Amino acid sequence: MGNDKRILINPSILNANFDDLENEINKVSTVSDAIHLDIMDNKFVPNLSFDFKRAAEIIEFSTLPIDAHLMIEDPDTIAPQYAQIGCDSVSFHFEAAKNCRQIIANIKSNGAKVGMAIKPATPLSAIEEFLDVIDMLVVMTVEPGFGGQAFMSEQMLKVSQARAKINLSKGEPVLLQVDGGISLTTISEAALAGANCFVAGSAVYKDSNPAEIVTKLRELAKNSFKI
């Protein structure tokens, strides 16, 4: 079957308190599926977040699996290294990749699941041929680079097209992740379009009760997601 009923909520720590990330992760650890770790190199996107050494430390102390999102120029070289240090999944950008099939194979052989991320301007047709060999498709619902931006509703057509393709495929179900601007007011729309994995950064960490927000996000997504 090309689909299932799982809903995954992965808080992004990009807008959490960088000086106390262990505690920030622990605030959501009993209610979340993974921590979304945004890696930015100031080249592929105009911002810097965590370097490799800091990422390795976070993976080490995190009580949740790490869903790494690499917004970097050279995923061909670097993505497998994130698999090696223990990420549960490693998502790389199609737009930055030189040899997608090779990156996918190298991430898998280093023990992580593979995600492929596409920017808002990239059509689904560009990556369709990879749907059989990846574990997760990441549809960006903001321009990658910064947390706290407005959700791009216009990306929902791409999400529903991706959902239709995934449901037709016979292999293991590909997770359909949306990343950017997900909040209590936008998650239902994304779930209705067919997303089943949700990254939420500022909506979770700008609130005084991050765990409660995660729980509410999950409820809303469950109510709107239909196969």
The piece of 11-19, 60-68, 85-93, 158-166 that touches ligand DX5 (CB under 6 A) is: 11-19
> What are the backbone dihedrals phi and psi of residue 131, each rounded to the nearest 5 degrees, phi first?
-60, -25
End-to-end CA distance of the chain: 11
Q: Looking at beta carbons only, is 15 or 196 nearer to ligand DX5?
A: 15
CB 71, CB 45: distance < 8 Å: yes
Per-residue DSSP letter, 41 = B
CA atoms within 13 A on the CB side of 183: 15
* Binding status of residue 147 toward ligand DX5 by CB under 6 A: yes
* Binding status of residue 115 toward ligand DX5 by CB under 6 A: no
CB of 1 to ligand DX5, least distance (A): 29
* Binding status of residue 135 toward Zn ion by CB under 5 A: no
Binding partner of 75, given ligand DX5, Zn ion, none, CB within 5-8 angstroms per partner class: none
Query: What is the C-alpha separation between 83 and 115, in angstroms, rounded?
Result: 11
Q: Looking at beta carbons only, is 169 or 207 nearer to ligand DX5?
A: 207
CB of 143 to ligand DX5, least distance (A): 8
Binding partner of 180, given ligand DX5, Zn ion, none, CB within 5-8 angstroms per partner class: ligand DX5
Query: What is the C-alpha separation between 13 and 66, in angstroms, rounded?
Result: 11
CB of 45 to ligand DX5, least distance (A): 7
Query: What is the C-alpha separation between 21 and 187, in angstroms, rounded?
Result: 25
Please say whether the dihedral angle defined by the alpha carbons of residues 29, 31, 33 and 36, taken in this order, is positive or negative.
negative
* Binding status of residue 97 toward ligand DX5 by CB under 6 A: no
Query: What is the C-alpha separation between 205 and 217, in angstroms, rounded?
Result: 13
Q: Looking at beta carbons only, is 71 or 213 nearer to Zn ion?
A: 71
Which of 91, 106, 155, 202: binder of ligand DX5 (CB under 6 A)?
202
* Binding status of residue 142 toward ligand DX5 by CB under 6 A: yes
**Pairing, β 175-179 against β 113-118:** unpaired
| Residues contributing to the site for Zn ion (CB under 5 A) | 38, 69, 179
| Residues contributing to the site for ligand DX5 (CB under 6 A) | 12, 14-15, 36, 38, 69, 142, 144-149, 179-182, 199-203
